Amino acid sequence: MSANNYSNTHEDFTRNFRNALGMFATGITVVTTRAANGAPVGLTVNSFNSVSLDPPLVLWSLSAHLPSLPVFEACEYYAINVLAEDQQDVSQLFASRVEDRFAGLEFDEGLGGAPLLRGCCARFECRNTQRYPGGDHVLFVSEVVNFDREDRPPLLFHGGAYRRLAP
């Protein structure tokens, strides 16, 4: 095993740390809500996991430097849309700097108007219950109020690239 724990510079350490974290395969989600003015807001997130079955809680994190942070901190509800393997374009759209990520995109309305993306393998409607500072991110612990799922393979991310489950 390669032991590249420490580097000469902070930038090297950060890049190497990120590469090491990339060795953990994750699913891809798009977290969506409505801004105070009613506009839909969403972004690609791969820092999502379960916390508790009783009560049903999930966790995700958002960079403290993103302009959408105040929208997610203030909303009452948001949706966590777990992308299916054929939704790589949706992941890229919500990770981009495109101003209106919802233009031409069909979705259902969830609690509080949170957009529920179609074609996902799972969708969680969540109450925005707790937030914690976590370094350069904010951790959101969410109470799952409603959910649905389809028997579809998930879109995965590993080693800096999109992946699919083997059949």
How confident is the chain (167 residues) per 10-residue block, as mean pLDDT?
Answer: 62 85 87 97 95 97 95 97 97 94 95 97 97 96 97 93 86
Asked if residue 54 is part of any domain, the answer here is yes
Structural domain range at position 82: 26-160
* CATH code for the domain in which residue 130 is found: 2.30.110.10
Asked if residue 121 is part of any domain, the answer here is yes
Task: Give pLDDT, residue 131.
Answer: 96
Task: Give pLDDT, residue 14.
Answer: 83
Task: Give pLDDT, residue 166.
Answer: 83
Asked if residue 134 is part of any domain, the answer here is yes
Task: Give pLDDT, residue 21.
Answer: 76
Question: Among candidates 85, 77, 89, which has minimal Cα distance to 44?
Answer: 89
Cα 50 from Cα 16, distance rounded (Å): 27
Asked if residue 10 is part of any domain, the answer here is no
Q: Name residue, tokens 């901190």.
A: 73
Alpha helices in 22-123 (DSSP H): 69-74, 88-95
Q: What is the pTM of this model?
A: 0.90
Task: Give pLDDT, residue 1.
Answer: 52
Task: Give pLDDT, residue 94.
Answer: 97
Task: Give pLDDT, residue 60.
Answer: 98
Count of structural domains, the chain:
1
Asked if residue 122 is part of any domain, the answer here is yes
Asked if residue 83 is part of any domain, the answer here is yes
Cα 112 → chain centroid? 18
Question: Among candidates 127, 95, 94, 93, which has minimal Cα distance to 110?
Answer: 127
Question: How far is the CA of 108 from the CAs of 1, 33, 86, 151, 156, in angstroms?
Answer: 47, 12, 19, 19, 24
11 φ, ψ to 5°? Answer: -65, -40
Asked if residue 116 is part of any domain, the answer here is yes
* Tokens encoding 72: 């997610």
* Tokens encoding 52: 């508790």
Cα 160 from Cα 158, distance rounded (Å): 6
3-state secondary structure of 84: strand
**Residue 15 belongs to what H/E stretch?**
helix 10-21
Sign of the dihedral through C-alpha 50, 51, 53, 58: negative
